[in-house]
Each structure stands twice: as structure tokens, then as C-alpha cells.
């Protein structure tokens, strides 16, 4: 399912019963940190929880934090040979979110949605960000509780 297949994405959301709030988050391909900051009306920051090199790749895990609350978890697979040095440098520094790194270096890119899902506890997606000397394979997991606490996840009312 590619980013620009909007009708396919909308059909999938309807078929699987995704809530409007889930659709906004899972269908958004800008910086997740900015979107979550707008939703929570407070800054959401990236907290690096683990980063290791393994077999020519960096595996990076972060929590996206709104004050003391985790509003998302993300794990990214970053093959070193497919990414430019300045991107790898910023990833290694661990200070910026991946979307911020891509924007900072003004790298043209496309985002491809690979998978998405939901259950009673969370909703999630897997996607790639690809561009010239750029490849990030990202898994994001959004626990429901913080979104429900602010009224973001509600059934849409018809009529």
C-alpha cells in the first residue's frame, strides 16, 4: 500500500473499522512528532531508549514523550550502506527524530505504508522512508490510553 494510494488507504480504514483519530495518525506522512504535538497541544519530544549496530545496520528505539507520558514507541531499521553520512551522523547523535533529520537535510523522499493494525490496547503502522541515499524502515506503535484520555479516539457520529 503506497502513500499516494489514498483511495486504497481509505477503503482499508473503512473495511477494518479504524476510528477517525487513528486514521489521521496512521495516514499522516509528515513528522509524527509535530502531529502528536498538535494533537496533545504540548511539545512531544523524542527520547532515545536504545540504539545499537548490528550486521551493517543501526537499530534505533525511541519513545515519543508528551511531558511524562509515552504517546508512541518507534523502532527503526537503518541499513548503513543505504544512508548518507550526514543522516547516519544525526541518527548516531540521537537528538532528533527521523522526520526532523530528513527535513533538516532537505532530502526528497517518498513514504510507503507497508502494514497497519489495531486492537483494544493500541494501533500501529510499518512504513519506509526512501530517497537518494536514504532508507528507513519504521515501526510505530501508539498506545490508546493517552489518546483516549484527551478524547482523541472516538467513534465518528453519522448524520
As a whole number of angstroms, the distance between CA 80 and CA 72 comes to 25
Q: Torsion over CA of 9, 11, 12 and 14, rounded to 10 degrees?
A: 120
pLDDT in tens, 23-50: 999 988 888 999 999 999 999 998 999 9
pLDDT in tens, 49-93: 999 999 999 999 999 999 999 999 999 999 999 999 999 999 988
pLDDT of residue 29: 82
pLDDT of residue 10: 82
Question: Class assignment of domain 6-149?
Answer: alpha beta
For residue 157, pLDDT beyond 50:
no
Domain spans in the chain, listed from the N-terminal domain onward: 6-149
Amino acid at each position: 500500500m503506497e502513500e499516494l494510494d489514498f483511495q486504497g488507504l481509505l477503503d482499508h480504514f473503512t473495511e477494518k473499522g479504524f476510528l477517525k483519530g487513528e486514521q489521521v495518525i496512521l495516514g499522516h506522512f509528515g513528522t509524527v512528532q509535530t502531529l502528536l504535538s498538535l494533537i496533545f497541544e504540548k511539545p512531544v519530544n523524542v527520547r532515545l531508549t536504545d540504539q545499537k549496530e548490528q550486521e551493517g545496520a543501526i537499530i534505533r528505539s525511541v519513545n515519543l514523550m508528551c511531558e511524562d507520558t509515552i504517546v508512541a514507541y518507534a523502532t527503526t531499521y537503518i541499513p548503513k550502506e543505504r544512508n548518507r553520512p550526514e543522516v547516519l551522523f544525526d541518527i548516531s547523535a540521537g537528538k532528533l527524530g527521523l522526520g526532523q533529520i530528513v527535513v533538516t537535510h532537505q532530502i526528497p523522499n517518498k513514504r510507503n505504508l507497508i502494514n497497519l493494525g489495531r486492537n483494544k490496547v493500541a494501533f500501529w503502522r510499518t512504513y519506509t522512508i526512501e530517497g537518494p541515499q536514504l532508507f528507513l524502515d519504521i515501526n510505530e506503535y501508539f498506545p490508546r490510553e493517552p489518546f483516549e484520555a484527551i478524547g482523541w479516539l472516538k467513534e465518528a457520529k453519522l448524520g
